Structure 1
Amino acid sequence: MRAISGLWRWRHNPLRRGTDLAEAWVCLAALLLMLVAAPVIGTLVGSAADESLQRSVREQQRRRHQVTARVIEELKHTAPAADPETASRDTRSRVLASWTAPDGTDRRGPVTAPLRDPEPGDRFAIWTDRQGRPAVRPLDPATATTHAALAGIGAALLAALLVELARRLALWRMIRRRYACWDRAWDRAGPDWGRTGTGI
């Protein structure tokens, strides 16, 4: 990005080459894209992700219901928690429990209870689907917004990275072309370089 600082100076510099000015313009364009386009892309991606996730939140909250379950007995052979996002080994136990499904039918089955030492008759809340089968807790709106914000930040950073890679590639090609021009100029000078009377 050093070339940007010299952009104004190079406009009237007699030693300025065309590639110097082109390099400065490429750097300036990349900087503007990073400062303007990347945040816009991040905002658009974040907004789209938030809209999609909030729609998913509403759908999950419509399809899942919280019911009260009652411990029948603790299961000695524990299994992985149904909701690993909120699971904690020392505060959750695998139990055989009974509950009433949203459609009014009685259900029974192994579930993970947020109880350290469950006793028969203990009550706790679980999430179920419409048929009364255990389900993971629905995503809450605040978590969905956080995920969307992270997606937007990631998209903005990715866009800035792609702009920087494109800038580096363009400069690399310009430098190669510049070196090729120098090589041709040296070839034209040939073995007579510096000799008296050769016109150089």
Structure 2
Amino acid sequence: MAFRGPKVWLWRWRRNPLRRRADAMEGWVLLGAGVLTVLAGVLAGLTATRSVEDELAREREDWRPAVAHLSERAPGTATAHTGTASGDRVWGRAAWTAVDGTAHSGLVRVRPGSTAGTPVVVWTDRRGALVSRPATPYEARLRASLIGGLAGVSTAAVPFIVGRAVRARLERRRMDQWDADWARFDPLWGHRTG
């Protein structure tokens, strides 16, 4: 096992006769990539979270429930089991009146075998078009947090990966310099043994 001394912080910026210019450049690249990674990730995450929260709050404000009535009998047969899982539902044609008084119709999920005229609660936007039920405040926060986290991590990955690639390039360059220096001085030392 190789001996390792105590960890020296900020060694790339300290004066040292063995420190090369590439060491200082690597330090600045790592610092810049780290700062950009954190800033880009946090800003992108917060921006995406706020945007999703605002959009979902606007949906909760604009979308309203309406009572629709089936226009025709729904396909299938009614059974004793009347669960509300989507597997127990079929598409049926219904009609409803929007807030502005215009008549609308469309396909909605209903229990199999529901008769014509059966009331069904649907959600509509301001124009009366069918929409899904808006997210609750809890669901909106959860969704916004997940999307914001994903956006933050994805954005932060860009400067992180670029910084690692630049660091790898500097490392290869430094090793090439060491090889060139070793090739130049190795013949001078080679004749001392014997």
**TM-score with structure 2 length normalisation?**
0.65
CA shift in 2, pair 1:168/1:97, >3 Å: closer
Alpha carbons 2:65, 2:121 under 8 Å: kept:
no
Alpha carbons 1:101, 1:128 under 8 Å: kept:
yes
Deviation of 1:192 (Å): 4.8
How many aligned residue pairs are there?
A: 178
Distance in 2 of aligned mates of 1:22 and 1:116: 70
| Equivalent in the alignment of 1:43 | 46
Q: Unpaired runs of 5+ in structure 2?
A: 1-6, 78-83
Alpha carbons 1:74, 1:95 under 8 Å: kept:
yes
| Equivalent in the alignment of 1:69 | 69
1:134-184 Cα shifts (integer Å, max 9, x gaps): x13253363444433333212210122112201211111111211221233
Say yes or no: does 1:136 pair with 2:131. yes
- How much is the aligned-residue C-alpha RMSD, in angstroms? 3.8
Alpha carbons 2:76, 2:112 under 8 Å: kept:
no
| Equivalent in the alignment of 2:168 | 172
Alpha carbons 1:72, 1:98 under 8 Å: kept:
no
**TM-score with structure 1 length normalisation?**
0.64
Matched AA of 1:89: G
Q: Which has the higher contact order (CA 8 A, sep 6+)?
A: 2
SS in 2 for 1:73: coil
CA shift in 2, pair 1:144/1:13, >3 Å: same
Matched AA of 2:108: V
| Equivalent in the alignment of 1:124 | 120
When structure 1 is superposed on structure 2, of 156-165 and 64-73 the one drifting more is 64-73
Identity %: 33
Alpha carbons 2:75, 2:112 under 8 Å: kept:
no
1:16-37 Cα shifts (integer Å, max 9, x gaps): 3333343334333333333444
Distance in 1 of aligned mates of 2:92 and 2:55: 35
| Equivalent in the alignment of 1:24 | 27
| Equivalent in the alignment of 1:149 | 145
Say which of 91, 94, 105 aligns to 1:94: 91
Matched AA of 1:93: V
Alpha carbons 1:39, 1:156 under 8 Å: kept:
yes
CA shift in 2, pair 1:159/1:97, >3 Å: closer
SS in 2 for 1:7: coil
Distance in 2 of aligned mates of 1:15 and 1:171: 19
CA shift in 2, pair 1:195/1:49, >3 Å: same
